[in-house]
Amino acid sequence: MRNPRPGEWLSEKLSQGFVGDYKPFVFVDGEGVRCSLYLSGCLFACEGCFNEATWSFRYGQPYTQELEDAILADLSQEYVQGLTLLGGEPFLNTKVCLALIDRVRSELGKSKDIWSWTGYTFEELLLESPDKLAMLREIDVLVDGRFELSRRDLKLQFRGSSNQRIIDVQASLARGRVILWAGVLDATRTYEQIEKRALI
């Protein structure tokens, strides 16, 4: 696993504008029905990563206008809750992500939420380059932190290891500290209720 210094990894120097996959109408990459874009390229190299193929910045296919049009068409469906950006590392592909985010906000406003997974922590992103901060400001929910194999827990909601957090980004930016997404607390209570019932 690699730990960058602030500003060490710049999207403009690393990104090749490739995407590993696009999956419309999925249920596992965040809350509700989602359209998920897997960006190519990651330098964190976490042991046990579930998507190691996307470490390469030239994995998959180039991001195209046709793909962007398809994503917007899928997102416009009433039953779709939002867009999810995964990887690879989305924050090392900010040119692609920001272009898509800008179009989503321009055409669909705030009617669709935006989730992202990242190997950076929220605190690290606050010290990063302007493009990463611009992207962070447009995201609603962030799952942050490196995947740590020693802390893997299959019962966790939307994350692989217990060090990772599901963050309400806009509340966190407004309050100047990390605010967990409310759904995390609901899921924790649900698991506790299930475990209690199992003991009865």
The domain tally of the chain equals 1
Count of all residues that appear for the chain in the document: 200
> 181 in a domain, yes or no?
yes
Q: How far apart are CA 9 and CA 131, in angstroms?
A: 12
* Predicted confidence (pLDDT) at residue 187 exceeds the cutoff of 70: no
Residue with tokens 């985010």: 101
> 4 in a domain, yes or no?
no
Residue with tokens 């605010």: 179
Q: What tens digit of pLDDT does each residue of 54-68 get?
A: 999 999 999 999 999
* H or E segment to which residue 167 belongs: strand 165-168
> 87 in a domain, yes or no?
yes
> 5 in a domain, yes or no?
no
> 1 in a domain, yes or no?
no
Q: What tens digit of pLDDT does each residue of 119-163 get?
A: 999 999 999 999 999 999 999 999 999 999 999 999 999 999 999
* % pLDDT > 90, the chain: 88
Domain that holds residue 151: 11-199
Q: How far apart are CA 135 and CA 125, in angstroms?
A: 10
> 127 in a domain, yes or no?
yes
* Predicted confidence (pLDDT) at residue 195 exceeds the cutoff of 60: no
> 18 in a domain, yes or no?
yes
User: Please, are residues 74 and 23 in contact by the beta-carbon 8 Å criterion?
Assistant: no
Q: Is the pTM of this model over 0.85?
A: yes
Q: Compute φ and ψ for 131, nearest 5 degrees.
A: -65, -35
184 φ/ψ sector (left φ>0, alpha ψ -120 to 50, else beta): alpha
* Predicted confidence (pLDDT) at residue 199 exceeds the cutoff of 90: no
Q: How far apart are CA 16 and CA 116, in angstroms?
A: 19
> 128 in a domain, yes or no?
yes
**pLDDT given at position 50:** 84
Return all residues near 155 (Cβ < 8 A) that are at least 6 apart.
Answer: 191
**pLDDT given at position 186:** 52
* Predicted confidence (pLDDT) at residue 164 exceeds the cutoff of 80: yes
Crossing angle of helices 94-108/65-75, nearest 10°? Answer: 40
